[in-house]
Amino acid sequence: MSSSIAWLDYNTQVVAASAALLGAAAGLAGCLLLLRRRALMGDALGHATLPGIAGAYLVSVALGGTGKEQWVLLAGAAVGALGGVLSILVIRRGARVSDETAMAIVLGSFFGFGTALLTVIQATPGGHQAGLSSFILGHAASMVASDLRAASIVAFSCAALVVLLTKELRLLCFDDAFARAIGRPVRWLDGVVLLIITAVVIAGLQAVGLILILALLILPATAARLCTDRFSVMLPTAAVMGAVSGVGGTLVSASAPRLPTGPCIVLFAAAIFALALLFAPHRGLIVRATSSRVRGLRQ
Amino acid sequence: MNAAPVPPSDPHGDSHAPTHGDSHAPTHGDSHAQSRAAGCEHSDTSPLSIHALTVAYQRRPVLWDVDLDIPSQSIVGVIGPNGAGKSTLLKACLGLIPISSGRIRVFGKPYEEQRALVGYVPQRESVDWDFPVSALEVVMMGTFGQLGWFHRAGKRERAHACEALDAVGLADEAHQQIGQLSGGQQQRVFLARALAQSAQVYLMDEPFASVDAATEQAIIAVLRRMRGEGRTVIVVHHDLETAREYFDWVVLLNTRVVAAGPTATTMTHERLRQTYGGRLTLLDEAAQRIQKAQLG
């Protein structure tokens, strides 16, 4: 009995540590997404992974595999995300529509395609046990040591890139025309941003799933933005908020039976956002309400 | 590369064109021929020399066969109606948009080799002023051109940026988040960032747009100081009333260069009428104001 509790503890520790690292990486990536005004890109990327995952399963089975190899499915997810990004670029150019419209088109059609493939797969023998649908809402509770390793690699690479390129990324997000005028390769920098987002989305598929990953990207970043007016403070703040959401959500879900971990993590992030919205030092609703009343009294 | 753009006088152009007023563009008139004949061959000493520049969007020209030799140590106004291609001209010079044909030289060499000599002030609306940076941090971006990728801005860049902020009268606002500044102050932050670039020729996109009179005076004072230091400033401008006062030289633009030269001899009623095409009421009003200003 005691060994089962110890195992549970160890498992919870692994999940909490992975979720913390992923949350931190998502916080950083979310800041870039938010400040580059590409919030919907995260959503489009997330949804575009589904046909990739389903396609990878079909290819694997067709080649005699089990279709359950984690790396094959994640590679498929990456291909799907890449396909989504390319489609956005092509649609934006060809149809001359805004970024947002192109993303909405890709988001919907890729997810629709993925869902259709998934339905077909689940009707095939063995398809139902493949666990593909767990990618939609995540299955954080089943993360193991190898997932923790993957999460650490993603988190530390993202952090390293952001630290190394912080000056250029800030310039890119604030004024890309000026960045280009002084000779910065804006396309490559946007590529780095996209790479970071994709890595976080793929790594986050297991924890929170492809639908809720956008929430984990955007909530800590937006909350951090409310708390500070400085780029250099906003990024680490968002990373910490993401990490706290990861740990907090894991602990909450472990404290009660049948509470799904991914949604708990996102709910924790939403709670932090709500706190920031109310109590942030300068931009919080309460401070703004009271300061406008003070201003009113002075007049 | 796209197919060759059709000339702007073509009345059957595609309706998705980004510019308006093209139908009013001057047809193959002698004024254009005059401006070309007025000596627009490439010069190595000109801060900005443009030869046969055409920029098209979806085969519809936004700029057509532009020839210009900007004189050094001057404040130059680029004037024309909305959609005349004024911003496009600046962006083409900075390599921000692809050009269909032509050549642009900065002190005789391509822009890519001369970036350090060129400063840029984009339109104020082109960025999000809610962005989490301080005025000083924005101005320091002006020093990034000289800084390598992984070099952090240090004391020297900071001092340089503070100097630039001081020059535009914003030393006290250095640590304010840019969203807390007024429109005029934001415009001056952009100007300070350009100053921090320590360039020789400056391209400014509507630096006087929607700023108050005091800011406008502060900005023109900075531009004159820059000219005094031997720099050249090229300014996209809207207000015909102030143009005579501010600029040594003007470029009247409406897809083509209608005329370019010293302000006094170039900004004639007839040339303005050609530049502004069919918008006669607006133009006559402007002309009357100019005449009044001259009399007063």
SS (H, E, C) A24-92: HHHHHHHHHHHHCCCHHHHHHHHHHHHHHHHHHHHHHHHCCCCCCCHHHHHHHHHHHHHHHHHHHHHHH
A296: confidence class by pLDDT, cuts 50, 70, 90: low
Measured between CA atoms, how close is B283 to chain A, in angstroms? Answer: 33
- Residue A187 forms contact with B (CB below 8 Å): no
CATH architecture of the domain covering A6-298:
Orthogonal Bundle (1.10)
Tell me the average pLDDT of chain A.
Answer: 89
CB contact under 8 A, A180 and B115: no
Helix orientation angle between A2-35 and A166-174, rounded to the nearest 10 degrees? 50
- The rounded distance, in Å, linking the Cα atoms of B284 and B289 is 8
A contacts of B147 (beta carbons < 8 Å): 167
CB contact under 8 A, A177 and B126: yes
- Residue A224 forms contact with B (CB below 8 Å): no
CB contact under 8 A, A175 and B134: no
CB contact under 8 A, A229 and B122: no
- Residue A180 forms contact with B (CB below 8 Å): yes
CB contact under 8 A, B152 and A177: no
Facing residue for B132 by CB, picked from A96, A182, A230 = A230
pLDDT in tens, chain B (296 residues): 445 666 665 433 333 434 443 334 344 434 444 444 344 455 678 999 999 999 998 888 999 999 999 999 999 999 998 889 999 999 999 999 999 999 999 999 999 999 999 999 999 999 999 999 999 999 999 999 988 777 888 899 999 999 999 999 999 999 999 999 999 999 999 999 999 999 999 999 999 988 888 899 999 999 999 999 999 999 999 888 899 999 999 999 999 999 999 999 999 888 888 888 765 455 566 666 766 676 65
CB contact under 8 A, A181 and B115: yes
What ipTM goes with this model? Answer: 0.86
Please report, for chain A, the start and end positions of each structural domain, with discontinuous segments joined by +.
6-298
Using alpha carbons only, give the angle B29, B32, B35 rounded to the nearest 5 degrees: 150
Mutation target vs B (from A36, A178, A230, A282; most B CBs, 10 A cutoff):
A178
Measured between CA atoms, how close is A159 to chain B, in angstroms? Answer: 15
Q: What is the model's pLDDT at position A298?
A: 53
Task: Name the residue type at position A185.
Answer: P
- Segment A116-140 shows an average pLDDT of 84
Measured between CA atoms, how close is B179 to chain A, in angstroms? Answer: 9
Tokens of A227: 């708390």
Sequence-ordered list of residues with C-beta below 8 angstroms from that of A205, at least 6 positions apart, any chain: A49, A53, A74, A77, A135, A138, A213
Measured between CA atoms, how close is A204 to chain B, in angstroms? Answer: 27
Spell out a b/e string for A161-189, using b for 16 or more CB atoms within 10 Å of the CB, else e. bbeebebbbbbbbbbbbbbbbbebebeeb
Q: What is the model's pLDDT at position B40?
A: 42
A258: confidence class by pLDDT, cuts 50, 70, 90: confident
CB contact under 8 A, A171 and B141: yes
DSSP B31-96: HHHHHHHTT----SS-SEEEEEEEEEETTEEEEEEEEEEEPSS-EEEEE--TTSSHHHHHHHHTTS
- Residue A251 forms contact with B (CB below 8 Å): no
Facing residue for A180 by CB, picked from B96, B118, B152 = B96
Q: What is the model's pLDDT at position A130?
A: 73
- Residue A231 forms contact with B (CB below 8 Å): yes
- pTM here is 0.84
Measured between CA atoms, how close is B278 to chain A, in angstroms? Answer: 30
Q: Give the CB-side neighbour count of residue B42, counting CA atoms within 13 A.
A: 14
Out of A222-226, A274-278, A279-283, B230-234, least confident range: A279-283
Q: What is the model's pLDDT at position A215?
A: 93
Q: What is the model's pLDDT at position A8?
A: 55
Q: What is the DSSP letter of B259?
A: E
Q: What is the model's pLDDT at position A295?
A: 59
Facing residue for A234 by CB, picked from B126, B132, B193 = B132
pLDDT at A255 over 80: yes
A99: confidence class by pLDDT, cuts 50, 70, 90: confident
CB contact under 8 A, B133 and A174: yes
Q: Which residues of B have a CB under 8 Å from any CB of A?
A: 16, 91, 94-96, 112, 115, 118, 120, 122, 126-128, 131-134, 137-138, 141, 144-145, 147, 149-150, 152-153, 177, 179, 193, 197
Q: What is the model's pLDDT at position B241?
A: 85
CB contact under 8 A, A183 and B131: no
Facing residue for A182 by CB, picked from B91, B145, B150 = B145
Measured between CA atoms, how close is A116 to chain B, in angstroms? Answer: 37
- Segment A215-227 shows an average pLDDT of 96
